[in-house]
A and B are shown apart, each in its own frame.
Chain A
Amino acid sequence: MTRTTPIKVITANALLEGDVVWLSHDGNWTRHLADALPFSDPEQADAALQQASQRHDEVVGCYLADMRLGASGLEPTHFREDFRRRGPSNYAHGKQSQG
């Protein structure tokens, strides 16, 4: 079995809604993990995080989150990131209601 390379994405919360966002391929912030820009090179990831963190009039609290490549694309490796992707489990609020 080949070892899966750790993949990172840049994530944060949107300034106005506080909604979870990821840095996307086009350099904008996306509300869909599927559109997030994956980094497999840690140095590139760190450099991109540095830059993204400057965008403080768009987002709050940028950090790198671990992902793996699953059948349906990017999947969080930790349950916290999974909940951030999905929204709360008691109501269909947050991402679940936004389709």
Chain B
Amino acid sequence: MYQYDDFDRTFIAERNRQFRAQVERRIDGSLTEEEFRPLRLMNGLYLQLHAYMLRVAIPYGTLSSAQLRQLAMIATRWDKGYGHFTTRQNIQYNWPRLNDVPDILDALAEVGLHAIQTSGNTIRNVTSDQFAAAAADEIEDPRPYAELIRQWSTDHPEFQFLPRKFKIAITGSPNDRAVTKAHDIGLRMVQRDGETGFEVIVGGGLGRTPMIGKVIRDFLPVADLLPYLEAIVGTYNLLGRRDNKYKARIKITVHENGLEKVRDLVEAQFAAIAPQFDADAAAAQLALLKQQFAAPELPPRDDAPYQAAYRSNAVFRAWADTNLHPHRVAGYSIVTISLKPHGGTPGDATDAQMQLVADLAEQYAQGEIRVSHEQNLVLPHVAQADLPALHAALRTAGLATANVGLASDIIACPGMDYCALATARSIPVAQQIAESVDSLKLEHDIGPLKIKISGCINACGHHHVGHIGILGLDRAGVENYQITLGGDGTEDAVIGTRTGPGFAYDQIVPAIERILQAYLVLRRDRAETFLQTYRRLGAEPFKTALYETEQVDAA
């Protein structure tokens, strides 16, 4: 697996040393909060409602067993025994004490992790397909490219003070599991005449003004990747608005200037700077990275134990039906470990659970773990023969919930239980919906469904691209929840449509239940998914189910 090189290690150690001194000066009073705030944010340290929060980057969602063990150790030693995995494939600690943070950062550095560029108007952690290097539908592992981008963007001298934060996502599969169209830049690997390249998408994003990204270049040869990214970010750095925070993201730049103008500027800049890039060095670096990311040897294994368990064990079968994904190698599976137990907090894992997953990854999955943007963990390479034993081990730790891709596999941001920016809670809404579908034994009947919840307009919970999206707002001092329907975060990305007036906190779960009941009545047959039914019939019948029986406040 890829290991940071000496440059990274030296850079991180130096940054940690600086930050330790800054924390000391903050605590002894020689730095005011005004002076300290930008420094702590540069190191991923936020102040939330009840405590500080440390956001640790997990580049392209890939962790080794040793790294996950260290994350568990940090949770035990300096936090409250758990961590929260986010839609950015990061982990957040909700309770660190300011004076412990330098030690936490040093502990992270021991395993090549850090919290740099997880905040501020910089290029953030590059996100990717959680099934990278394993998925049957993949053209090529996107992570060597993601790592190339990480190296290019880390501490990039010109891009530390962009008009606004900047997020890049990359996928190597035609089936987009990385929501590339909702990122500032999305990269989708494509092939043309046998050559691999990227479709470059620009100006996507959720938040206050949700937009689906637009294709700025339909085929970018691999060799042009970094100069082209440099040209896009450079163009944005000049053209992006700095007068209004709400209009500063590149999606607004593209919207206000038009794609054509932005494309012309980018192409002109690309033509100007491409010759300055050392193409040979980049190619050599990429070749090296490809070696380091080389897929593990996966010897053929007899899948008889899997077949036997699948036939005889209904609990195992239910889990295998939802939590497994086809692997490119016959006899292997990709396992998604649900961090969505019914009634639990989406994305939370205890220290003991992280320890166990790290051990199981070592035992059964080449020592590799992925974090998905849907807030689950993934073991990318598991022999099917080992699945029954893996499942049994996961069950002992409450990690075998068979609900991946179903109604209770909900994305929920921290919302007003933690987040200082929140306008309403999201976690308890997710908990109650999951408990409801579980107690009615509905979710396996309902089938594939993505419910996504955000606690404010910033949309960290991706509600706009949920089949059912829920947005928590503050309406005259009361929590109020807006519903959107028909959103989609895949390669066919669509922003969901608002149904109408919102619902109070104690009405939102019954409202979601009415939508689900309506779907069960409206669908053609079991094979027609919620999204297909919605696309066939439109919003009207769902609105009828939502509002006809219900007295709602006029929002």
Interface residues of A, Cβ cutoff 8 Å to B? 13, 15-20, 56-57, 60-61, 77-80, 83-84, 87-91, 93-95
Contacts and interface: CB of A to CB of B under 8 A. Distances in A.
A89 B415 CA distance: 11
B125 interface: no
Interface in B76-129: 80, 94-95, 97-99
B155 to A, nearest CB: 27
A83 B505 CA distance: 14
B47 A61 contact: yes
B50 A57 contact: no
A56 B33 contact: yes
A77 B478 CA distance: 10
B33 A61 contact: yes
B480 to A, nearest CB: 11
Max chain A Cβ within 10 angstroms of own Cβ: one of B27, B49, B427: B49
Contacts of B33: 56, 60-61
B427 A89 contact: yes
B417 A18 contact: no
A31 to B, nearest CB: 11
Contacts, number: 74
Contacts of B417: 83, 88-90
Interface in B4-53: 26-29, 32-33, 47-52
B417 to A, nearest CB: 4
Interface of B: 26-29, 32-33, 47-52, 80, 94-95, 97-99, 345, 416-418, 425, 427-428, 431, 474, 477-479
B80 A93 contact: yes
Given A57-B28, A90-B428, A18 B345 contact: no
B136 to A, nearest CB: 36
Given A56-B32, A83-B417, A18 B477 contact: no
Contact of B47 (A60, A80, A88, A90): A60
Max chain B Cβ within 10 angstroms of own Cβ: one of A13, A18, A79: A18
Nearest to B35: A56
Contacts of A15: 26-27, 98
A91 to B, nearest CB: 8
18 contacts: A17-B97, A18-B47, A56-B29, A57-B29, A60-B33, A61-B33, A77-B477, A79-B416, A80-B416, A80-B474, A83-B417, A88-B50, A89-B417, A89-B427, A90-B345, A90-B427, A93-B50, A94-B50
